[in-house]
Amino acid sequence: MITATIFNHAGGAGKTSITRDVGYQFAQAGLRVLLVDLDPQANLSSWLGVRNVSIDATVYDLATTGAPLPEPVEAHGLHVIPSQVDLALAETGMLGVPGSQLFLRQALEQVRDRYDVVLIDSPPSVGQLAILGAVAADRLIVPVPTRQKGLDALPGLQKATALYRRMRPELTVALYVPTLYNDRRSHDREVLDMLRGGLSPSPHPCRSARPCGWTAPWTAARSACTLPAVPCTATCCASRPRWRVSWA
């Protein structure tokens, strides 16, 4: 099982879109996929049609007491642990609970045999829920808008990542994903050049001018997986089902 957290402490970077679309394409390729919505705004849950859930269906009890994962909801071939607005209360509920930031990581270990891939949609913050998601991950996927906003967020991203590595030293960034990119805009091209010059691994953009795909940083036996871009309306995944995923 591979666990990736899609993280950026700034909102509007494309975290939820990546979580939804990549998770769906993995499921279409035959993988067993679990999506975990840690954002109290619950956009991922809502986009998948999972609405009006109780607080018990979220990670609230897990985050605050170390309870097991709640039973996931099935949607579009995916298993989803949804969110709702009251999950924000977990931010204070986790404070003063020793080891609470490790609870999700520990709970996922108990379902390792049930899933091939777990994707965690992190909230746009550096609070307790964001730490919960980051520490549970094997790798981080970081969307960065090709706007001034994206550049301004980089120092905070690097500080947050350094903090998470103090709790999990082996945690690394698997992929930076430039989002909102349009190669017809000179500003977008300039920002992309700056991102490529300052980030590793080197970012590969998602161009909004036309449907496109990007190659994921993980490979499959005898087959590389090409996943949809953000935004992307094309069905890009040509991999055959039942291959094993591993980090490159």
Q: What is the pLDDT of residues 125-164, one digit of tens each?
A: 888 999 999 999 999 998 888 877 777 777 887 888 888 8
Residues whose CB is less than 8 angstroms from the CB of residue 59 and which lie 6 or more positions away in sequence, other chains included: 36, 38, 69, 70, 81, 83, 87, 90, 104, 132
What whole-number distance in Å separates Cα of residue 114 and Cα of residue 5? 18
Per-residue confidence (pLDDT) for residue 29, from 0 to 100: 92
Task: Give me 118's structure tokens.
Answer: 């777990």
Q: What is the pLDDT of residues 51-69, one digit of tens each?
A: 999 999 999 999 999 999 9
Q: What is the pLDDT of residues 65-118, one digit of tens each?
A: 999 999 999 999 999 999 999 999 999 999 989 999 999 999 999 999 999 999
Per-residue confidence (pLDDT) for residue 173, from 0 to 100: 86
Residues whose CB is less than 8 angstroms from the CB of residue 93 and which lie 6 or more positions away in sequence, other chains included: 60, 63, 64
Asked if 17 and 231 touch (Cβ cutoff 8 Å), the reply is: yes
Task: Give me 104's structure tokens.
Answer: 């999700």
**10 C-beta neighbours (distance < 10 Å), count:** 18
Residues whose CB is less than 8 angstroms from the CB of residue 169 and which lie 6 or more positions away in sequence, other chains included: none
